[in-house]
Amino acid sequence: MPCPKTDLLDPDKIRANLNTKRIGKRVLVFNSTSSTNDVAAEYATNKQNDGLTIFAEEQTAGRGRASNKWLTGRCDSILCSVLLTDCPLNPDLLCLTAAVAVAEAIGQSAKIKWPNDIIVSGKKIAGILLESKACDHGTAYIIGVGINCHQQKESFPTELQEIATSIDIENHSTCDRIRLGKRLLTCLDHWLEVAQKDSSEIIEQWRQLSIQLGHRLTLLYNATTFTGNCIGIDPEKGLILQLDSGAVRFFPAAHSTIAK
């Protein structure tokens, strides 16, 4: 699907009337790049780049969690990375915060599949990739976000057509990516501020949006399989399962993968 002319990402249009305190104060848009996370990492050594936001119309080497590839056609998605050079949040809380923000930006029907997928109608519509970079000023974090916008069913590889969706598919209309990009930055700005003040608000919002809370899960942690009921989330320790043995155990996002 060709990108509508009114839908081409433009830094001035994204920044126009963007009422944020931190995120998106500076916006860069690339016609094509290997990965927006890679571009953000190049700016990470300068602490003054906190809140810098990178968009791209196309990624030639986009990636997801666990070295998975992020595949999308040109102008079909929101491909975005936000650089945080001064962030006191731990990675697990930061990942939860980003998930809440992305789900809110997409809309009321969006839900969270821990740790980094956003789901609509039971299908994946967005993903989040959190990466870090050690710098002289401390650790910088990069929040990478990919949101499917203009894809139709046939846009996805055959193996993904039954498990992936897009905003256009779900809304039966054409998404305005500029508007969505502005909303994404606004939501990230808001929830990052909330997280720094009171992480319990993030946890409560995650509970409301989670598709896994209260359900039986099987996950892989350090190459070992664990099965139990999801009973909650901890902002520092990760997902909480009550295992079949009766024990309660925490699973950090960085080393855990949902099997089913």
Which structural domains are found in the chain, ordered by start? 5-209 (3.30.930.10), 216-258 (2.30.30.100)
Q: What is the pLDDT of residue 1?
A: 47
Rounded-to-integer distance, Cα 219 and Cα 225, Å:
6
Query: What is the arrangement of strands in the sheet containing 248-251, beginning at the earlier edge strand?
Result: 248-251, 238-243, 224-234, 216-221, 256-258
Each residue's pLDDT tens digit in the chain (260 positions)? 455 657 899 999 999 999 999 999 999 999 999 999 999 999 999 999 999 999 999 998 877 655 556 667 788 999 999 999 999 999 999 999 999 999 999 998 999 999 889 999 999 999 999 999 999 999 999 999 999 999 999 999 999 999 999 999 999 999 999 999 999 999 999 999 999 999 999 999 999 999 999 999 999 998 899 999 999 999 889 999 999 999 999 999 888 888 86
Q: What is the pLDDT of residue 14?
A: 96
Burial class (CB in 10 A: 0-12, 13-18, 19+), 122: exposed
